[in-house]
Copies of this chain bind each other. A is one copy, B any other.
């Protein structure tokens, strides 16, 4: 698109008219919100913080050196904002380590092998040191296991290959429709005597990145646990096509991941004390841990720096909240939720009164709105603020799931919210090697931070 001189002049006039008319009628809320958006887009710190977290520290799996570096770094940055209090909240977290890179191939005829990209699922056991090699059987979900039965599964590797539903506009809905294969596939397949499972990556795009993510054996005895890995979507397509041509394919994979004893880590917390109602607490947060394959920029470095930015924008605009506004960078969302549970446990033990919690854990993309988990009455109160977001193209205010880390805090009368950025690109990067800083756009990230700050401001100044 070009834009010529004339058009430009015409637009400039329109813009001046728009400014003048806005200038006449802006409410206090409109002014404060505009200030925060302007600052976020010009002098915001979030993007630079994320640059450090991503490029100087990198992937921050719970219990890793990098997770500790992220704790130290974000605490220091929060200290530098001059807020009222910054502290670390100890929490024991699992320490799962991937080990040497995984390796996999399939064999159509003896000696004729094709390598495919896999990665161990988080929490999986290792294969024997010589790997697992067996026939592989494709299924389109856990439900199909009982149809096939032990007869057809025993001694084989099960290949879960139900793809995400591309017709879902909200890609998280498509994710929810598949993730049971990753989370419980190994546990369920082991009941039929499977030797291991390979799961199609939760990715709407065809590419070569395997996507990790949490899985669980429940309370299954260790001796019965079978190894689980994700295969890239391209790998899954190739394997599936090859199986149609030759159902007798052998699949081989090898991984030496390991679960160590729990180690101590921390939630990082900072707050501005409320000037009028300090006992009413508003929480805004994301999770500081990430998977180990990429640098965790979208999941969830973005949510952390956006939450920190809320305090920065309040300080920079001189806004002194009536209620206590607390940022929590939760540890261990990905493989345990220990941070979220610990924060709620301590809050309950101290009898703290949380009125609102907002989580950002859906990537640093253009903000579209929020989901709210609340009473109908409170939801209608929130809806009355929707028009204030219109100039920022933030339009999506719906009831729905708010967030995993703030989940344990939930109780009657409290309002829970989740930031909802544009979701189209999220699963291209989620839990994969390409969740990296260059895929975050500064403006999109900073708009998200301003959108969160605006909602927190409105909750703080109006209460529920």
A8 within 8 A of B: yes
Q: How large is the interface on A (under 10, 10 to 19, 20 to 34, 35 or more residues)?
A: 35 or more
Question: Once the chains bind, are A333 and B424 in contact (CB under 8 Å)?
Answer: no
Copy number in the complex reads 2
Give the segment of A240-248, A372-380, A441-449 that binds chain B: A441-449
Question: Once the chains bind, are A177 and B12 in contact (CB under 8 Å)?
Answer: yes
Question: Once the chains bind, are B362 and A4 in contact (CB under 8 Å)?
Answer: no
Give the segment of A62-70, A168-176, A409-417 that binds chain B: A168-176
Q: Cβ of A300: which chain B residues have Cβ within 8 Å of it?
A: 1
B216, B362, B391, B447: which contacts A1 (Cβ < 8 A)?
B362
Considering only CB atoms, which chain B residue lies closest to A337 in the complex? Answer: B2
A169 to B428, CA, bound (A): 26
A384 within 8 A of B: no
Q: Cβ of A213: which chain B residues have Cβ within 8 Å of it?
A: 2
A11-B176 contact, Cβ under 8 Å, with A41-B166, A166-B42, A447-B424: yes
CB distance from A18 to the nearest CB of B (A): 9
Give the segment of A20-28, A99-107, A179-187, A343-351 that binds chain B: A179-187
Question: Once the chains bind, are A38 and B2 in contact (CB under 8 Å)?
Answer: no
Q: Which A residues lie at the B interface, using CB under 8 A?
A: 1-5, 7-9, 11-12, 15, 37-38, 41-42, 166-167, 169, 171-173, 175-177, 179-180, 183-184, 204-205, 213-214, 216, 299-300, 333-335, 361-362, 366, 368, 391-393, 395-396, 401, 404, 422, 424-425, 428, 430, 441-444, 447
List the 6 shortest-distance A-B pairs measured between CB atoms, nearest first: A11-B176, A38-B167, A395-B395, A1-B361, A424-B443, A5-B183
B15, B38, B395: which contacts A177 (Cβ < 8 A)?
B15
CB distance from A234 to the nearest CB of B (A): 14
A366 to B363, CA, bound (A): 15
Other A-B pairs beyond A5-B179, A7-B401, A37-B167, 13, CB < 8 Å: A3-B183, A4-B214, A4-B216, A11-B401, A15-B173, A15-B177, A41-B167, A169-B391, A169-B392, A395-B396, A424-B441, A424-B444, A424-B447
23 residue pairs of the A-B complex, CB under 8 angstroms, read A1-B300, A1-B361, A1-B404, A1-B430, A2-B334, A3-B183, A3-B404, A5-B183, A7-B401, A8-B180, A9-B180, A11-B173, A11-B176, A15-B173, A15-B177, A37-B167, A41-B166, A41-B167, A169-B393, A366-B366, A395-B396, A425-B443, A425-B444
Most buried by B among A4, A177, A396: A4
Most buried by B among A177, A183, A333: A183
A179 to B9, CA, bound (A): 10
A395 to B366, CA, bound (A): 14
